[in-house]
């Protein structure tokens, strides 16, 4: 088998790219589709649930698919610099792909509201990190204006190439299963990813490769404009990745929902944390808080009887848990980190206590 070299090589015929283009790749994509055996059993329902673990991309989130394509197209256009606003993952991915391409990267992040792992990524890859005293939505407004008047390429998901790259995740699901799931759950912030999945499934459906799944988007309760039907000015959630009140792909995501017969829902912070821990402890899947929202949504809808027996459900888990070590450590609680003298008796006492 040939060496895997990323989403453009794998899905070139489905992407608008010239034959002689210089491809900027870190081997993104080809992420595992993991069946949730233990968690599915707890629902008592006859369904099959898979996680598409996008946290296993090169920078630890699904953004790498879109960034690979957007940066490849930026290089093709002769761009020298990238810019984005970000809740963290986009900045990490932009910084890495910019480094790979030899471009400058400028990233605007909300001060104090980005997970530690993401900040470390943007910094080590050499991006110019600008913290703004405002939220993601304020940063987004700024970078759009700057990109319109300055020679920098905007690589947020309003850049259409981002969604083209990200649609390859839907292709992989169908290629892995041999069919499309009945339901595909995604965490929603700007709604770029749910839109990209709609594009991907549409591409395959048009060629008769699959039927359309219902696309279901879940948000954090404190940042859920798609559920309330109106923009949120002060979004707040522990899932900082999706702390977004003014989604950029508003109407496209509404269309994705309506065209596929899907819906939107919300999960509060307490349930987000419970689900993050469940995935880690019952299935060995460590995701960041925002990513647990898709699985929480599916479990919620299963309990509510909204999904029929026999259904196949895919939940996209968008980012790796190592992105946000602070939340993970707080999830453990003080009683789970033990300190003892380095003696046989002390260690043995703990083990006997916990296995007895
Ligand atoms: C882990 O990095 O918007 O609905 O600036 O990092 O396509 O916006 C991140 C979004 C879900 C939501 N899960 O995806 C950013 C940013 C994780 C994320 C989303 C994000 P979209």
For the chain (356 residues), the mean pLDDT of every run of 10, in chain order, is 95 97 98 97 95 99 98 98 98 98 98 97 98 98 98 98 98 98 98 98 98 98 98 98 98 98 98 98 98 98 96 98 96 83 96 88
Report the alpha-carbon distance of residue 293 to residue 167 in Å, rounded.
Answer: 20
Is the CB of residue 275 below 6 angstroms from any atom belonging to ligand 1? no
CA of 290 to the centre of ligand 1 (A): 8
Residue with tokens 């459906």: 205
Which tokens in the block code for residue 263? Answer: 């819906």
Query: Closest residue (by CA) to atom 12 of ligand 1?
Result: 189
Give the pLDDT of residue 50.
98
Which tokens in the block code for residue 225? Answer: 């404009």
Q: Which atom of ligand 1 is nearest to the CA of 217?
A: 4
Give the pLDDT of residue 337.
87
Q: Which atom of ligand 1 is nearest to the CA of 244?
A: 3
Query: Closest residue (by CA) to atom 18 of ligand 1?
Result: 241
CA of 334 to the centre of ligand 1 (A): 30
State if pTM tops 0.95: yes
Is the CB of residue 164 below 6 angstroms from any atom belonging to ligand 1? no
Is the CB of residue 262 below 6 angstroms from any atom belonging to ligand 1? no
Give the pLDDT of residue 319.
98
Query: Closest residue (by CA) to atom 13 of ligand 1?
Result: 318
CA of 102 to the centre of ligand 1 (A): 25
Is the CB of residue 193 below 6 angstroms from any atom belonging to ligand 1? yes
What secondary structure letter does DSSP report for 19? T
Contact 76, 22 (CB under 8 A): yes
CA of 188 to the centre of ligand 1 (A): 7
Phi, psi of 299 (to 5 degrees): -65, -40
Give the pLDDT of residue 356.
73
Give the pLDDT of residue 333.
74
Where does residue 48 rank: exposed (0-12), middle (13-18), buried (19+ CB within 10 A)? middle
Contact 287, 316 (CB under 8 A): no
Is the CB of residue 55 below 6 angstroms from any atom belonging to ligand 1? no
Report the alpha-carbon distance of residue 226 to residue 260 in Å, rounded.
Answer: 16
Closest by Cα among 122, 33, 31, 26 to 67:
26
Is the CB of residue 192 below 6 angstroms from any atom belonging to ligand 1? yes
Is the CB of residue 288 below 6 angstroms from any atom belonging to ligand 1? yes
């Amino acid at each position: 088998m040939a060496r895997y070299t990323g989403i453009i090589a794998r899905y070139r015929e489905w992407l608008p790219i010239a034959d002689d283009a210089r491809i900027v790749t870190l081997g993104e994509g080809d992420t595992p589709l993991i069946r949730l055996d233990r968690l599915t059993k707890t629902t008592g329902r006859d369904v099959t649930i898979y996680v598409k673990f996008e946290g296993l991309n090169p920078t630890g989130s699904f953004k790498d698919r879109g960034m690979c394509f957007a940066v490849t197209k930026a290089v093709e256009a002769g761009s020298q610099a990238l810019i984005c606003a970000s809740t963290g993952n986009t900045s990490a991915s932009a910084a890495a792909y910019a480094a790979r391409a030899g471009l400058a990267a400028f990233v605007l992040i909300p001060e104090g509201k980005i997970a530690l792992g993401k900040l470390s990524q943007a910094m080590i890859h050499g991006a110019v990190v600008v913290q703004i005293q405002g939220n993601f939505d304020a940063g987004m407004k700024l970078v759009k204006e700057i990109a319109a008047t300055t020679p920098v390429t905007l690589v947020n998901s309003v850049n259409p190439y981002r969604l083209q790259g990200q649609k390859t995740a839907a292709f992989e699901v169908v290629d892995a299963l041999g069919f499309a799931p009945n339901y595909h759950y995604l965490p929603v912030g700007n709604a770029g990813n749910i839109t990209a999945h709609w594009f991907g499934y549409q591409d395959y459906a048009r060629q008769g490769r699959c039927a359309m799944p219902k696309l279901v988007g879940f948000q954090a309760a404190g940042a859920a404009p798609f559920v309330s039907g109106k923009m949120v000015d002060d979004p707040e959630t522990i899932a900082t990745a999706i702390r977004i009140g003014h989604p950029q792909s508003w109407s496209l995501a509404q269309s994705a929902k309506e065209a596929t017969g899907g819906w939107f829902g919300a999960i509060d912070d307490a349930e987000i944390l419970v689900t993050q821990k469940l995935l880690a402890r019952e299935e060995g899947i460590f995701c960041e808080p925002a990513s647990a929202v898709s699985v929480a949504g599916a479990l919620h809808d299963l309990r509510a009887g909204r999904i029929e027996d026999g259904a196949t459900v895919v939940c996209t888990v968008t980012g790796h848990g190592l992105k946000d070590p602070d939340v993970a450590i707080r999830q453990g609680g003080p009683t789970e980190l033990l300190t003892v003298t380095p003696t046989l008796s002390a260690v043995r006492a703990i083990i006997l206590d916990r296995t007895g």
